[in-house]
C-alpha cells in the first residue's frame, strides 16, 4: 500500500443477522481523489461508511483510514476524518456556534485555531446568518450545512459524506460541489449520493455498489464505457395530420417499421418509445464499434419514409447505473424475496438474480432515487 492510500477496504463484509449488507467490498481511495459512492437504496453504502468511521465493526475483512486500522486504532481513524452521517443528526437544542465549538472541543482544537477554522467554515458553508440560532429552528438544508461544518471544522485529510446534498437546493448543491472539487485537490473525499449528475460534476471517479458488492469502480469515462452499448433513437413520421404527407406512398405501419429495423445488421434490441400518433419512435441498442446511422438513413430513403429524428449516444452514467443495479429493483418488487425489514439496509434479502438482459423496463424504480 503506497503511503497516499487514504481509504483502504479489503474484503469488507457486514452481516446483520442472516442478512449480508456488505459483501466483500474492496477499494482504495488515494489522496487528492474525490470519489462518488453510488448505489440504490439498501445497497450497503451507509453501512460501508459506518464501518469506515468506526461506528460499527465489520464482520469480516479489514479497513484502514489514513494508514490506521479501524479495529486497532479507532481513535486515530476518527481523528483523521470528518464525517457527515445521513440526514445530519445534530443536537437540536444547541445553537450553531455552540455545536461547532462542541465539535472543535472534542477534536481538541484550541481557541485560536477554532476561531480561525470557524471563520472559514462559516464562509464555506454559508452559516453566517444562523450562527446564533438554535439548530431546531433551522431548515433541513441549513442543518445539513451545519453537519458539513462540523465535519470540516478540524480541516481533516479525509472526508466521508453520506448523502451530503440530499436536502440542499440546486444553488447550494452547485456551490457545495464546487467546494468539494476544490478541497479535493489535496484531500480525500468519499461521498455517497443517489444523484448521478452530482457525481458527474464533482467526482472523477465512482464506485458503484449493488447488493453489498462493488459492481463498478473506476474513472467515470471508463464506467460509462463499461456496458459497451450505444443507443440510437429513430423517429419516423406516421401521419402528417392536416398537412400533406411528403413521403412516398402511404405512411408506414408500425409492424413494417419494426420488422425492417429488426432486420438491420448489428441491432440487438428494438424498443418502441412512447409518442403521439404522428410518429413511430424506436430506440435501438447495438454493440459498440458499429455505426448504424448510414444504414438507417439509406433504408429510410429507400422506403421513401419521412425521417423526423435520428441520433446516437453513448450510454449515460445513469444508464450504466441502472444496468448494473437492476437486480435490486427487481427484488424489491417480488414478494417471495424474503423478509422485508423496516431497516433501510435490510430491504434486500440474499437472493441472486439475473441481471443480464438489459431492459430499462423496471428501472423506473430507480427514478425515485
Partner 1 sequence: MATTEELTDDVHEAPDDDAEEREPTDEEGESKSGGKAKKDLPATAQPKVFERRSGAALRNVLTITKREFKAYFDSIVAYVVVCLTLLIVGVWFFFFGFWQVERASVSRLFDGVGSLPILLSFLVLPLLTMRALAEEKRSGTIELLITMPVKDSEVILGKFFAALGLTAVLLLCTLVYPIAMFAWPWHMGALDWGPVTTSYVGLLLMGSAGIAVGMMFSSFTENQIVAFFVTAAVLALLWFIGSIVEFVHGPIGDAISFVSFQTRFLPFSRGLVDTRAVIYFLSITIICLLAAFRSLESRKWS
**Residues 238 to 297: which contact partner 1 by CB under 8 A?**
none
78 binds partner 1 (CB under 8 A): yes
Report whether 338 contacts 351 (CB < 8 A): yes
142 binds partner 1 (CB under 8 A): no
CA 298 to CA 287: how far, in whole Å? Answer: 20
131 binds partner 1 (CB under 8 A): no
Interface characters, 56-75, with partner 1 (x: CB under 8 A): xx--xxx---xxx--xxx-x
3 binds partner 1 (CB under 8 A): yes
One residue of 4, 105, 291, 350 binding partner 1 per CB under 8 A: 105
16 binds partner 1 (CB under 8 A): yes
CB of 114 to partner 1, least distance (A): 12
Q: Which three cell numbers mark 256? A: 413494417
- Residue closer to partner 1 (CB basis): 26 or 332: 26
SS3 340: coil
Strands, E assignment, the chain: 5-16, 19-30, 34-38, 60-65, 68-69, 81-84, 158-162, 188-193, 205-210, 213-219, 229-237, 267-273, 279-287, 307-314
CB of 13 to partner 1, least distance (A): 9
CB of 198 to partner 1, least distance (A): 23
Phi and psi at residue 16, to the nearest 5° = -110, 100
- Residue closer to partner 1 (CB basis): 27 or 232: 27
Report whether 285 contacts 227 (CB < 8 A): no
Phi and psi at residue 153, to the nearest 5° = -60, -30
112 binds partner 1 (CB under 8 A): no
Q: Which three cell numbers mark 87? A: 440526514
Contact residues for partner 1, defined by CB under 8 A: 1, 3, 10-11, 16, 50, 53-57, 60-62, 66-68, 71-73, 75-76, 78-79, 83, 85, 87, 89-94, 98, 102-103, 105-108, 147, 150
Amino acid at each position: 500500500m503506497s503511503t497516499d492510500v487514504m481509504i483502504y477496504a479489503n474484503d469488507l463484509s457486514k452481516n446483520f443477522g442472516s442478512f449480508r449488507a456488505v459483501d466483500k467490498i474492496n477499494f482504495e481511495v488515494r489522496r487528492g481523489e474525490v470519489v462518488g459512492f453510488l448505489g440504490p437504496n439498501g445497497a450497503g453504502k451507509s453501512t460501508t461508511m459506518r464501518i469506515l468511521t468506526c461506528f460499527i465493526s465489520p464482520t469480516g475483512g479489514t479497513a484502514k483510514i489514513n494508514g490506521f486500522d479501524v479495529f486497532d486504532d479507532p481513535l486515530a481513524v476518527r481523528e483523521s476524518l470528518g464525517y457527515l452521517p445521513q440526514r445530519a443528526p445534530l443536537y437540536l437544542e444547541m445553537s450553531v456556534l455552540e455545536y461547532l465549538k462542541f465539535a472543535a472541543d472534542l477534536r481538541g482544537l484550541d481557541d485560536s485555531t477554532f476561531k480561525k477554522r470557524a471563520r472559514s467554515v462559516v464562509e464555506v458553508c454559508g452559516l453566517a446568518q444562523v450562527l446564533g440560532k438554535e439548530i431546531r429552528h433551522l431548515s433541513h438544508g441549513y442543518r445539513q450545512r451545519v453537519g458539513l461544518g462540523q465535519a470540516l471544522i478540524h480541516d481533516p485529510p479525509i472526508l466521508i459524506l453520506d448523502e451530503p446534498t440530499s436536502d440542499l437546493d440546486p444553488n447550494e448543491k452547485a456551490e457545495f460541489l464546487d467546494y468539494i472539487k476544490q478541497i479535493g485537490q489535496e484531500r480525500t473525499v468519499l461521498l455517497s449520493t443517489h444523484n448521478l449528475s452530482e457525481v458527474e460534476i464533482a467526482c472523477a471517479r465512482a464506485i458503484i455498489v449493488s447488493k453489498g458488492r462493488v459492481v463498478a469502480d473506476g474513472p467515470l469515462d471508463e464506467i460509462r464505457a463499461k456496458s459497451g452499448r450505444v443507443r440510437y433513437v429513430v423517429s419516423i413520421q406516421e401521419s402528417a395530420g392536416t398537412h400533406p404527407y411528403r413521403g412516398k406512398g402511404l405512411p408506414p405501419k408500425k409492424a413494417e417499421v419494426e420488422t425492417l429495423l429488426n432486420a438491420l445488421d448489428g441491432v440487438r434490441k428494438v424498443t418502441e418509445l412512447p409518442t403521439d400518433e404522428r410518429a413511430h419512435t424506436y430506440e435501438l441498442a447495438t454493440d459498440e464499434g458499429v455505426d448504424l446511422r448510414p444504414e438507417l438513413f439509406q433504408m429510410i430513403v429507400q422506403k421513401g419514409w419521412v425521417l423526423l429524428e435520428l441520433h446516437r449516444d453513448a450510454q449515460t452514467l445513469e444508464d450504466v447505473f441502472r444496468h448494473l443495479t437492476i437486480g435490486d429493483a427487481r427484488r424489491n418488487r417480488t414478494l417471495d424475496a424474503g423478509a422485508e425489514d423496516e431497516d433501510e439496509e435490510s430491504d434486500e434479502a440474499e437472493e441472486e438474480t439475473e441481471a443480464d438482459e438489459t431492459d430499462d423496463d423496471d428501472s423506473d424504480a430507480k427514478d425515485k432515487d
